[in-house]
Amino acid sequence: MSTEKKVESNKIADDLEPVSMYQMFAKMFALVAKEVSDEFGDAGREAVKRGVWNFGVERGKDIARRAKARGKPNDAANYLVSYDMDRSDEFDSVDTYGDDQVEQIFSKCAFAKQFQKDGMEEYGILYCEMIDPSIAYGYNPNLKCIHEKHFFTHGECTFCFKMEKGTE
């Protein structure tokens, strides 16, 4: 019998602050986007944006599947409640539901915070500008995302997810 000490591999030391998956994702995304942008210039930036768009569309399709599994239509009212990403305390938003639309105002975002902390806003914006419109499109091509304010320029992010009239 072995006298080796077994240690749980998923435990970090109690005196270390954990790094969230949101922080790691933001760092990874910005560093990859920077490398692609540095290597390929504007064509690389456009490729990164297309990749984010494709990722978002796939997420949106899965959110539509989640709504359907709940017996709900993929309309504006069921978009956020069927969402695929839990909101941790690293995000703060107020959601307001109206006729065929949902408005969100974010006062805190882990992704934007990390992009800003690392001085990587130039690369983070490639994600921020594309992800929500593409998720909404994948969920329902008639759900439009209006994203007027960004953390990098306004200190908050605002979204309006609005179903185009006569297209439901």
- The pLDDT confidence band at residue 168, using thresholds 50, 70 and 90, is very low
Asked if residue 91 is part of any domain, the answer here is: yes
Tell me the mean pLDDT in the region 8-13: 65
* pLDDT score for 161: 97
- Token representation of residue 6: 């077994």
- Tens-place pLDDT, residues 28-66: 999 999 999 999 999 999 999 999 999 999 999 999 999
Asked if residue 66 is part of any domain, the answer here is: yes
Asked if residue 102 is part of any domain, the answer here is: yes
Asked if residue 104 is part of any domain, the answer here is: yes
* pLDDT score for 5: 73
Q: Which of 25, 17, 16 is nearest to 114 (CA)?
A: 25
Number of domains in the chain: 1
Which residue shows structure tokens 């599994």? Answer: 69
Alpha-carbon span 55 to 134, nearest angstrom: 8
Asked if residue 92 is part of any domain, the answer here is: yes
* pLDDT score for 106: 96
Asked if residue 14 is part of any domain, the answer here is: no
- Tens-place pLDDT, residues 122-158: 999 999 999 999 999 999 999 999 999 999 999 999 9
Asked if residue 168 is part of any domain, the answer here is: no
Asked whether the predicted pLDDT for residue 25 surpasses 70, the reply is yes
Asked whether the predicted pLDDT for residue 73 surpasses 70, the reply is yes
The pTM assigned to this predicted structure is 0.87
Domain that holds residue 114: 21-163
Q: What is the CATH number of the domain that holds 27?
A: 3.30.1380.20
Rounded (10°) angle between helices 21-69 and 110-117:
160
* pLDDT score for 167: 47
Asked if residue 128 is part of any domain, the answer here is: yes
